[in-house]
Each structure stands twice: as C-alpha cells, then as structure tokens.
Structure 1
Amino acid sequence: MTAAQMRPRIRPTFAGAWVRRLALFFVLLTALWGSHPALAGQLDRAGIERYFPAPLVVGERDGALPVWPILKQEAGRYEVFAYAFESIDLAPIPGFGGTPPDLLVALAPDGTFRDVKVVSHHEPVFLEGLGSEPLFAFVEQYVGLSARRSIRVGRPNARGSGASAETTVDGISMATASTRVINESILGASLAVARAKLGFGAANVGLKVEARPDADESLSVADLVARGWVRRLTVTHGQAETAFRDAGMDPIDDGPGDRPLTDLTFAYLNVPAIGRSLLGPDRFAALMRELGPGDHAVMVVSHGSENPLGEDFVLGSIPERLAVTQGGLAVNARDMAIERRGAAPDLPNGPWTILRITGAAGFDPSAPWTLRVKLVRERGQILSEKIVREFSADYTLPATLFIREAAEAGPSWLDPWRARGPELGVIALALAGLVPVLAFRRGLVADRRRFAIFRLGFLAFTLGFIGWYAQAQLSIVTLVGLVRAATVTHDLAFLLYDPPSLLLWAFVVPTLVVWGRGTFCGWLCPFGALQEFTAWLAKPLRIRPITVPPRLDFWLRQGKYGLLAGILVAAATGSPLADTFSEAEPFKTAITLYFVRGWPFVAYAVGLLVLNLFVYKGFCRYLCPLGAGLAILGRLRVLDWIPRRAECGSPCQLCKVRCRYGAIAPSGRIDYPECFQCMDCVTIIQDPQQCVPQVVAAKHGRRIAPRPVPAE
C-alpha cells in the first residue's frame, strides 16, 4: 500500500444533508433572536411591601428609574430609609444558565446595603444542586457593606483568612462563575441607582487622586491653621439651643451662649506637609504603611465639653455622630484603631481619631469636602423621641498638593481571569501537549505501550484537574445559555465568568472541524474519564460486557438527539423544562458537586457508572445531549483523519472488534459522529505486529496489492 493511500482523506465536500439541517437550525435561531421581550422585574407594590413591612412605608415608584423609595418616620417626618430595586431591571447580566438572576436590593442614602434578597434565579449549580440556601447566605453578606467600594468575591472563608471584610465576600465552592455574576449584578444595578439618586463618584469616576510625595515642609499647627490646612468646627451652647428650640424643644442650658459645646480640630493627613507636621515623621510613616493603596486619612481631635465620639465608642468602628461628606453625600469613613500617640504638642488636648476612607469610596481630597457632627437630644419620658441636628465645616486644599491621573479600569469579567491564571496556564499546556499526539499518528500513538500510559495519565488529569479541581466540565447547560442569550438576553457575557470552561470551548470547537466529536468526548470530558476508569472494574468483578444488537443499538443512539432537541426547544420557548431535562447529565452530581447531593441524583449518577460496566460508555452513546450536539457540529469535519487500508472490513475485522464504542461498521467505514478518538484503531493499523493485513503479508513474504479505500 502506498503512503498516499495511508494518509487521511480530505473530504471534497461537507455532508450536504447535515449542512442544510445546521443552516436551517441557525436560521431559526436568528429568527428567535428578537422574538422574546427583554426580562424585567416581577415585583409590584404589593410584592415590595412583603419585603418591607410596617413601620416602613413603600413610596411611589420613580418615574425615570424602576426604583421604590422605602420611607421611615423620624422626628415627625418621613425620611428615605432605602431605595429598593430589582437588579434585573438595571443590570440584567446573564448567569451561567443564560438567564440573569433577579435580586432585590435595598440601598441606603449613604450607599450602604440595607438588604439583598434573591427573587429568582436559574443558576444550575443551585437548582437541585447545592440548593438555594448557600445562595441566600451569600447575598446576606452584602448587608452593611458599601456600594461605594469595589466588592470582590473571594475564595470560601476568604474573610476569615484575612481578606478585607469591607471589600470581600466569601465565595462558594463549585459556584465561582455564578457568584461572580451575582456580585456584578448587585454592584452594577446599585451603581446605576447610586449615580442617579445619590450621585456617587459623578466627578471622580475613573480618576485616581493622590497627595504629592514632595509636598513636604515642616510646619507648626499655627502655620497649618493660617493656611486653612487645619480647620476647626465649633458649636456653641447658644447655637445648639437655637437649633433644638426650632424643633420645639425647651432650653436645657441657661449659661453663656458663646461657650463651646462641641469643638473639633480636623485635617487631611496624606499630604506630607500636614501629616508629618501633626504626627511626627515616625508616626506619619507608620500611617502611610497601614493605609491601603488609594486610601485617605482624616484626623479629628475633640476638645469641647461634648465629645461626638461618645464614651462607648469602639475603636475601628464608624462614628455615629461624625461624618465626612462630599458633594452632599456621605463618604464611608471608619476609625483606623491605631495607637493614639505622637501628635504635635501644640494641637488642642482631647480624644482623637483617624478616619480611613478607602480608595473605592470615590473620595477626591483635592475637591472641597465637609466634616459634619450630629447633636442628639431626646424629648418625652414614656415614648421618647430622638431629635437630631447637624453642624458642619468645609475643608479645601490647593489642587497643587495632589496628582490626578486616570485610574486603571477594566471589565468586571477580568477578575476571574486574573484569579484563575495558574489553572488556565496548566490547562493550556495540557491542550498544547495533546495536539501533536493526536495529529502525528506515526509518533506516540503508534507505540502501543507508551501511548496507553500517556492516555491513562491524561484521563487522570482530565478527571482530577480539569473536572474536580478546575470545575471545567463542559455541559449542555452552556448550550441552553446560548439559546437563552439568543432568544431572551442577547448577551453572551456570562461565558466570560468561567475562564477554564471557556478555554476548553475555545479548543473543542475548532477540533470539531478537524477531528469531530471525539477530541472532547474521548479526552477532555471528566465524566467520560470517570467512566473509563470505572470500566476497569469489569474484569476483576468478572462482568462480561453486553453486546447490544445492531438494530437496537442504532435506535438507542437516536435517543440523545431527541433529548437534545427537547432541551433546546424548551430553552428557546422559555420553559423551565430546559433545566429539568438538563438533569439527564450526571456531570453536576459526579463532577461539580463530588456526589454530595440528594440521593436520587447520586443514585442516577452511580447507576450510569454501573451501566458502564455492562455497556461501555452507555450514557455517552445513548443519552448524552452534549455529545449529541457535538456530534451534529462534528459533521462539519473536513478530514477523514483515521487511516484505513483497502483490507479494512474485508476481510479484516480486527479494528471493528476492538472498538468498544461501536464506531466502526463491518465494511471498515468509520462512523465519526460516534467515534471517541481513543486511537486504538490507529495504533493497530500502524503496528505491524497487530495489523492483520501486515502480519499476513509478512508471513507470506509478499506485499498486499493496494486497493481503493471504500468511500463513505
């Protein structure tokens, strides 16, 4: 046989019937693209009131934004307690199932989260998987955090391991992509409301402002006061009495009205000329080391008769009666809980605090800002009522003391790519190593012993690293998400939140055109690898495989195509049956959740593995909807890459007998949509000690006359 006859044959045309079917499918998919209305929130006033019962009051929905003001009565009038909205109205980011989660968010006027609740979701890992309870607990972490900060999803127990409790929420194992999408949905919707209602960062979005390190000189407190770099906020007894008298309260102090009641001295410390002069070189250097990148520090010294910090003030907390505001909005400022010593001797005596403002707060120290202090009085003895009055002093520093530059920004989906860089690198190296092995059939594949060891090791890597560790089991859920994206959300961004799976898809799709379905199903499917390892138990257990009759085998193989059609039609029509039918895949149970799931799902997955002992890869051959989808797309394959001899099928049947997938016809023709690329037949045909035609030819000392390869 000539070398030309042993080469893979390039198909002159695509399989015409299947191309027409695929074209029709994509035409229908395109027609469905705009046929569904955009998703919208599902709560009306009655629904919102169930989440915010009395004494809270739900106000009128905003005319411009789908936002409900939640009101609370205070000091005889209604104040805005929170703005409530559904994330799907403002940031409909598709989840891993292709449908955006719907979260009810209550955002306080100062930008903190009052509450976050899950209204609905279609995240596969939480639907009949982990259950919804871990998701409910996940969103509860946002309560008390600030929308001004860049909140990130860490690893499980990240906050307990030292991550900032103000900017990090604990992730959930096996739900990395879903939790990141939910985080972005919450923050994206909250930012839209904050900019419209609260004005967050309107002048400082994408801008980084830092004190110039060379703005340094030795100054006294008097010099700093003269320049306006140290300011004073004084509230006299007379001013306080006047303010509370306007609220209908009787005077409680008959002394001189010009006596200071609250007296505060405050300054911005990041500018070296200010911070070093007030704290001294050593304490200033320690402060700068403790501050995070982009953070700011404000010093407040209290030397009046009434200390706004209070006797029960806890270091490290947010002072209830002190606030830093900019543009009329409160900036989250928290006590730094550092040692109170080393201040300049000519500062007024009294308790003091250093308030930290994180870089995520959008605070611009080069722009005017305000320090506010609250004075509180109570009236009434039985049902006492607190009356609050605020006093303030403005603060401005010269713009020449600061460096202003554009802050680095990037899309939110970059975070998981950065976090999972090492995993992606390992998977990419493995894929790069697999390609030459599969492409050069006269290399490692021709060595029966070495290739068996390589295949075993790669399948172990697929199961252990790609599946159980990196959680990159490809699934029909992705195809469901694509259909939902085409028909409902028109957004494919959900794919970017699961980098390992997207990397595998980027590899698998081109290989469909080159080799067909087998590259994924035979090498990169973790559950497929698990089945192969399980099949080894058949021999020690003395289980003889069952040979399915050819006619029954043919009809059973059509089952996976019917299941695929049912799932995709249900997804396209918006039916929840798509998620139910997708449970035909045991991937979530066996790989994503490590068999930690409800007993019916575990029994089903284990049952498929037991079936595998009798009918090799029975699930893959008869039930797998993802395999069916890949088989259909694999019909666009341009190569008949498995070498054949004229004697294959007549008279030699060795490859057909050895093929445990039933992918070789008696004629010797390869059924590529059913081929799992195990390469056994390639090894046989390259091995002169196994290939029957070569063995016979060598035995008789002659060459076999070449004959044409049968066409498909």
Structure 2
Amino acid sequence: MGLLRLVICWLLVCAPAQAGTLTQAELARRFPAPLTVGDKAADVPAWPLFKQDGTAMELVGYAFESADLAPVPGFAGVPPNLLVVIDPKGTFLDVAVLSQHEPVFLEGLGEAPLHDFVQQYRGRSLGQGITVGGGKGSLDGVSKATASVRIISQSILSAALKVARARLGFAQGRDPGRVGRILPDRFVPLSLQQMLDAGLVRHVRVRNGDVERLFAGGAGAGLDAQVLAHPDDIFIDVWVAWASVPAVGRNLLAPRTWNRLQGRLEPGDHALLVLTAGPHAIAGDDFVRGSVPRGIVLRQDRLPVEMRDLDIEPRLADGVHLPADEMLLLRVIGQAGLDPARALDFALPVTRSKGIVYPERITREIAFPYQLPAAYYVAPEAAAPAWQASWKARRVELAVLGVALALLAGALWQQRRLVANARRFAWLRRAWLLFTIGFIGYAAQAQLSIVNLTGIVQALRAGRGLDYLLFDPLTVALWAFVLVSLFIWGRGTFCGWLCPFGALQEFAGLAGQALRLPQVSVRRVLDARLKRVKYGVLAAILLAAAWAPAQADRLVELEPFKTAITLNFVRGWTYVAYAVGLLLGATVVNKAFCRYLCPLGAALALLGRVRMLDWIPRRAECGAPCQTCRHRCSYNAIAPRGQVDYEECFQCMECVVIHASDEQCAPRILERKRNRSIPIVSMDGRA
C-alpha cells in the first residue's frame, strides 16, 4: 500500500494538465467565409472573429475554449471542454461540446442530451444571470445528470466572463446580477457644495509639479518645459459624478439634459459625468462623439471598464457654476457589471515623448478614487457558491438520507438489540436493502463508485480543487458517513448496507436459494487468491487515472454500477449483459463481484484498516473447537482459529446473530445443557 501511494504521488506531480486543443486553422474550418479568424489575443486565450463590412473589418465576437479559462473538473476529475462564442455585447452566439468525460454522458444517456443542453445558451446574455433548472427563464437541466450540467454551466459562464472582462470591459468573475442597485427614488435637493461635501461629486486638482513628480527618476522627467517653468500652475481640474444617480443628475444637470439622459440608458446602464478645466484635455481635438475617450480610464477591482460617450451635450442646472472646458456624459453598459457598492478607480493617462525619429513614449497616470455614498444604493447580497443551488434543490432527499443514516448508525451501535431476534433481524435487513436499492440507488442516484476516486486523482494531478464534488450533495453526504464508518466498523458498513448494487447481488443470492440453485462454495485457498484480484484492478485504475485518463475511462467500466443503477440498465447491450451476468452469477456464488473484482471495495478495505473497533463479538471457544460461524460465513471472512478478517467482512451480521442465539451458538447450547443437568440421587435420598 505504501508503494502504491508513492507511485500515485509521483504521477500526480509529473503528469501534465489539460489545456485547449483548437488551432487557428481548425477554427477557420469551423467558421468559414465570410468570417475571418484573427490572431489569438495576448491577454486572454480567445480568438477574435471578424467579417467584412464595406472597407472595414467588423468584430463579430470571440471564440474560446472553456478548458483554457475555466477548467472546472467534472465527476471523472477531467474538465469538460466547450467551444464558446460570444459577441461584443456578451451574448452567446454558440456553444459546442469539444470533449467531456462525464460518466452519465459517455454511455447510457449518450451525448445527445448534453448537446441539446448547451444549445440553450444561444441568444442568452451574460447579463441575464443564467441558471440551470431554476424555473421560468432558466436553462432546462438533464434528468439523471443535473450535477454534471451544473458543472458544465459553471465552466461556460466562468470562461465567458473572463473573456468579457478582458476584451469587452465586463467585471471579473462577478455575476452581473449580483451588484449593488441604485436607489431610483432617493432624491433630496442639494447644492454643488453639499454634493462635494457628501462625496457625490469628486473634485481633483492636479498642478504641474504633481505631474512632474510622476515622471521623476524616469525617461520622461524634465521633458515638458512649461511644467518645469510653472510648477504651481493648474495642469487639470477634474470633477467626476455618478450622473445616473437621481440625487446627482437631477441636482447637477439641467432638466432637459436629465430627461435626455434617462431616455438613452437601458436598464442596468450607468452614466458618469466628467468635467475638466485646464490645459490638459481628456477628449482632445480629434475626439469623435459616441466613441471611447482615450484621456480617462475607469477601473473597478483593478479591471478596466469601458466608458463610451453618450453623444449628449450636457448642460448644468441653474445655480451650478463650474469653470469647465470639457463636459462628457459617458455610459457604462449594464453587462459590464459595474457595481455601485464598490469604489471606482479613475486614471488620467499623461504621455510624454522622448526622441525625434522614433520617439519613446512614456506614460504615467493621475489616479484618484470615487466612492458613491452608501445612502444611494442597495448593496448586493453575498454571492453564493454555484454548488449551493444543488444542495437547496435536494434538501428533502438530504433530510431523508440523513435520518436513514442516523437510524442505521444507531442500530449498528446497538447490535445486541438488533440481532436479539434472528427472524426479525432478517426482515429488517431485507427492508433496509430495499431502501438502499430504491432510494439511495435509483431515486437519489447516490451510488458510490470508483469514479469518485479516479476523479479526485485526476483533479489533483492537474492541480485543481475538489469543489466539483459539492455539485452532488447526496454522494458527498454518503461519502462523509462511509468515511466515518470506516474508523468504527470498517468496510462492511458500506458494502453490506449502503451499496445499491451490492444489495441487488444479495437479493439475487436469495433468489438463487429460493429457486434451489446449487450454491457454489469456493475453496478457501482459491477464495483467498481471487480476493487479491480486486486490489490489482484498483491499482490499474488509479495508475491509469493519473497517467492515462482515457484508459481509466475504459477500466472503470469493470464496475457495473453505472449500468445497473445510474442508467437503470438503459445502455448498450454489452454493458447490460455484463451487469446482468454478474447478478446471475451472484445467484450461485455469493456476491462474487464484491468479493473478487470490485475496485471500490478494495479501496474501502485498505482504508478500513484504520478501524478502531473489533466489533464482532467472539468467545474463547470460537475456532477452537467451535467452527459454526466459519462454516456459515458465505464470505469466508472468518479464519479457522476464529479471527475475523474485517477487510473481507460485509457486515451481514450472521455470525453476530449466531453468537447471540441459544439455538445456534454451540458454546451457548453446551452451557445451557450443563445448567439443565439433573443431579443423581441414591435410593436413600443422598446425592
């Protein structure tokens, strides 16, 4: 086991991570004329798509792979890779599946439902707050694959937001629906001085000496003679205000300008008023109305946000007197995710040139913040992790599972009371196994699998987190219980009570006995050798998961769980034949798959060695001379000397029933006979 750990750790360190696979040539084949694929952007792995518009090339959108930007691992531990195309406004033009390793879509359901799911993104905007299975307006999920499509959706949205942030001025990684909201009815008449005092209007005065200090010690120092000659003169006066806030716009702008501004803004848009005075201009003589001014930059959370001129000639309200040379009303579209609850960072770039033929351009920025007072917006709610929706949606099933597991733990802890009546225990156990098959297996889809472990191996190999596991709350809850039970009882709690396929095999065995089929008892020596096979299967799967994921996808099919439980036998005939064959085999060889082939069982057996209790009661006579429990154990988990092999025990508790029974336990039967002995009395009445 120690050697296996070392090998896996080495593979985790050495194995490469997955990345996008498309080239510019491949994209050109996918997007033929009249579209043209540009060079990949330097700041984000996305290709611009252009089309000819007269003499100009019009930007159609950006194409990118989700694995390059948001490699959210799926349940196989490998991120899905999707080709995503968004237009300059953040609207999805197309989403296509390039590769995916989700077990539920590899077989059974097939990829068709996944392709149908991603087609729903077409025409939707990043500003809509796209959700999956959340009711009206949300994306339709996929039955039996809700957790998988949530992971895929998170990958698509996260990747798209990163591109939108880098290339379209959108906010980094924030859900555009989770930003502060301007209060439209919050208005009180305020003078200019009152607005300045309240922080609604920000005034910044920059002198020539301040600018020279920005360039001090660099190539741009001392290049502006006017600045050097008059260090105390004004370089620029700037006034900035959030004009779409009623308490600002209605007090600062003339009524006609305010009304025009309201008519030009879409829901979610923001308007900023910028006024300047002094020799330095932010627009300049070559500024074109409706364009983006180069002389002022807006950032939020250190990320650029595009401001575009509204082409409105602003007029100030009566009584507002500012010595402004320039006045601009700039719009920030709603899709940019500008958050009124967070500070705005403005910067005025100042560029100097050094040299004549090929001048060196040196740029420094005059930076200043602006924070809208809290009284004029509603702060956003804290963004909940994407996986929380899965937990809320399945809270009823989680409650049922939680109660059931608590009952099971209590019953196993009170094993003497549980097995006090052998007949009652048999029926209780069968009822529980039916619950395991019906609820845990088919209803909750919480069949634990070796895929859970290979997914972790592949996620760690690529240096990713394990947050993806939280998208399947029932599986997480069951794993948590199983891991705790390993410390108390060992492997048997899951394999004997909580594995739906194991329960199917147990009922298959009962059916075989009812049909009087010959029950094959594997000889102890052969049985011991066959039990080692599952450890070899486990090692092969884990090594493949770390080194050759494609091979691991094939090897995990040795588990029939997906066919029999997840997909309810709706799959290719070879998989169905294999699963059915294992169940038929269980009618004559008790739980043959669990004992000899199950890689998950092997992993739990290894982990179960940390067990704290030898919970199966034993007597001094067990094994010497009594062999009742050993012969009755259909798993060959009891040695001739009476010791229990907990790594191979399935917690059927048959030996515990025998131990507590006056009719089945040989030492107890002998003890009862001794207690019932009749003393011999002589004819004279003496003993």
Using the size of structure 1 for normalisation, the TM-score is: 0.69
Among candidates 438, 445, 460, match of residue 412 of structure 2? 438
Matched, 1:70 2:45: no
Cα deviation, residue 542, structure 1: 2.2
Matching residue's letter, 2:443: Y
Among candidates 395, 418, 430, match of residue 456 of structure 1? 430
Structure 1 CA distance for aligned equivalents of residues 410 and 144 of structure 2: 32
Among candidates 563, 566, 581, match of residue 537 of structure 2? 563
Matched, 1:58 2:37: yes
Matched, 1:639 2:613: yes
8 Å Cα contact 1:90-1:189 kept in structure 2? yes
Residue of structure 2 equivalent to 1:29? 8
Structure 2 CA distance for aligned equivalents of residues 99 and 501 of structure 1: 18
Larger-gyration structure (1/2): 2
Q: 1:580 to 1:366 in 2, by over 3 A?
A: closer
Secondary structure at the aligned position of 1:597 is classed as coil
Structure 1 CA distance for aligned equivalents of residues 105 and 160 of structure 2: 24
After superposition, where does 1:554-633 map in structure 2 within 5 Å?
554-633=528-607
Cα deviation, residue 577, structure 1: 1.2
After superposition, where does 1:385-396 map in structure 2 within 5 Å?
none
Residue of structure 1 equivalent to 2:259? 231
Cα deviation, residue 536, structure 1: 2.5
Residue of structure 2 equivalent to 1:658? 632
Structure 2 CA distance for aligned equivalents of residues 210 and 64 of structure 1: 32
8 Å Cα contact 2:128-2:177 kept in structure 1? no
Matched, 1:123 2:102: yes
Residue of structure 2 equivalent to 1:188? 158
Cα deviation, residue 401, structure 1: 8.4
Matched, 1:39 2:18: yes
Residue of structure 1 equivalent to 2:446? 472
Structure 1 CA distance for aligned equivalents of residues 649 and 34 of structure 2: 66
Residue of structure 2 equivalent to 1:362? 337
Matching residue's letter, 2:179: L
Residue of structure 2 equivalent to 1:176? 146
Among candidates 485, 510, 517, match of residue 459 of structure 2? 485
Cα deviation, residue 457, structure 1: 2.1
Structure 1 CA distance for aligned equivalents of residues 456 and 34 of structure 2: 45
Q: 1:77 to 1:661 in 2, by over 3 A?
A: same
Cα deviation, residue 174, structure 1: 1.6
Which sections of structure 1, spanning at least 5 residues, go unmatched? 1-20, 234-264, 271-294, 298-324, 331-356, 368-397, 704-712
Aligned residues: 532
Matched, 1:96 2:75: yes
Instruction: Say which is worse superposed, 592-601 or 503-512, in terms of deviation.
Output: 503-512
8 Å Cα contact 1:528-1:617 kept in structure 2? yes
Structure 1 CA distance for aligned equivalents of residues 109 and 615 of structure 2: 42
Cα deviation, residue 675, structure 1: 0.4
Matching residue's letter, 1:627: G
Deviations 1:351-410 (A, max 9, x none): xxxxxx99988376999xxxxxxxxxxxxxxxxxxxxxxxxxxxxxx9898423143212
Secondary structure at the aligned position of 1:537 is classed as helix
After superposition, where does 1:204-243 map in structure 2 within 5 Å?
206-211=178-183, 227=255, 231-232=259-260
Structure 2 CA distance for aligned equivalents of residues 440 and 358 of structure 1: 64
Q: 1:518 to 1:366 in 2, by over 3 A?
A: closer
Matched, 1:79 2:58: yes
Cα deviation, residue 429, structure 1: 1.3
Matching residue's letter, 1:231: N
Instruction: Say which is worse superposed, 27-36 or 525-534, in terms of deviation.
Output: 27-36
Secondary structure at the aligned position of 1:34 is classed as helix
8 Å Cα contact 1:511-1:519 kept in structure 2? yes
Among candidates 73, 90, 105, match of residue 111 of structure 1? 90
Structure 2 CA distance for aligned equivalents of residues 149 and 329 of structure 1: 24
Percentage of identical aligned residues: 50
Matching residue's letter, 2:457: V
Cα deviation, residue 267, structure 1: 8.1
Among candidates 660, 673, 677, match of residue 647 of structure 2? 673
Secondary structure at the aligned position of 1:80 is classed as strand
Structure 2 CA distance for aligned equivalents of residues 35 and 137 of structure 1: 37
8 Å Cα contact 1:508-1:519 kept in structure 2? yes
| Two-structure CA RMSD over aligned residues (Å) | 3.2
Structure 1 CA distance for aligned equivalents of residues 404 and 150 of structure 2: 26
8 Å Cα contact 2:48-2:61 kept in structure 1? yes
Structure 2 CA distance for aligned equivalents of residues 510 and 97 of structure 1: 24
Secondary structure at the aligned position of 2:563 is classed as helix
Instruction: Say which is worse superposed, 78-87 or 571-580, in terms of deviation.
Output: 571-580
8 Å Cα contact 2:178-2:381 kept in structure 1? yes
Q: 1:329 to 1:678 in 2, by over 3 A?
A: farther
After superposition, where does 1:10-29 map in structure 2 within 5 Å?
21-22=1-2, 24-29=3-8
Deviations 1:474-514 (A, max 9, x none): 00001111211232243222211111111111111121122
Cα deviation, residue 327, structure 1: 3.5
Cα deviation, residue 296, structure 1: 9.6
Residue of structure 1 equivalent to 2:394? 420
Q: 1:53 to 1:148 in 2, by over 3 A?
A: same
Matching residue's letter, 1:175: A
Q: 1:663 to 1:49 in 2, by over 3 A?
A: same
Matching residue's letter, 1:451: F
Deviations 1:201-224 (A, max 9, x none): 46978532142667699x9xxx99
Residue of structure 2 equivalent to 1:700? 674
Matching residue's letter, 1:504: L
8 Å Cα contact 2:341-2:380 kept in structure 1? no
8 Å Cα contact 1:199-1:329 kept in structure 2? no
Greater RCO structure (CA 8 Å; 6+ sep)? 1
Cα deviation, residue 228, structure 1: 5.2
Matching residue's letter, 1:87: S
Which sections of structure 2, spanning at least 5 residues, go unmatched? 190-245, 271-304, 311-331, 343-371, 678-687
Cα deviation, residue 453, structure 1: 2.8
Structure 2 CA distance for aligned equivalents of residues 533 and 419 of structure 1: 32
8 Å Cα contact 1:229-1:268 kept in structure 2? no
8 Å Cα contact 1:326-1:363 kept in structure 2? no
Residue of structure 1 equivalent to 2:114? 135
Secondary structure at the aligned position of 1:72 is classed as strand
8 Å Cα contact 2:509-2:589 kept in structure 1? no
Secondary structure at the aligned position of 2:103 is classed as coil
Deviations 1:204-254 (A, max 9, x none): 78532142667699x9xxx99964586248xxxxxxxxxxxxxxxxxxxxx
Structure 2 CA distance for aligned equivalents of residues 32 and 679 of structure 1: 40
Secondary structure at the aligned position of 1:539 is classed as helix
After superposition, where does 1:231-630 map in structure 2 within 5 Å?
231-232=259-260, 266=263, 327-328=307-308, 362=337, 402-630=376-604
8 Å Cα contact 1:177-1:497 kept in structure 2? yes
Q: 1:139 to 1:644 in 2, by over 3 A?
A: same
Secondary structure at the aligned position of 1:118 is classed as strand
Cα deviation, residue 467, structure 1: 0.9
8 Å Cα contact 2:630-2:638 kept in structure 1? yes
Secondary structure at the aligned position of 1:689 is classed as coil
Cα deviation, residue 633, structure 1: 1.3
Cα deviation, residue 637, structure 1: 1.8
Q: 1:584 to 1:358 in 2, by over 3 A?
A: farther
Cα deviation, residue 628, structure 1: 0.8
Q: 1:361 to 1:607 in 2, by over 3 A?
A: farther
8 Å Cα contact 1:104-1:116 kept in structure 2? yes
Cα deviation, residue 48, structure 1: 1.4
Deviations 1:246-279 (A, max 9, x none): xxxxxxxxxxxxxxxxxxx838899xxxxxxxxx
Structure 1 CA distance for aligned equivalents of residues 92 and 606 of structure 2: 48
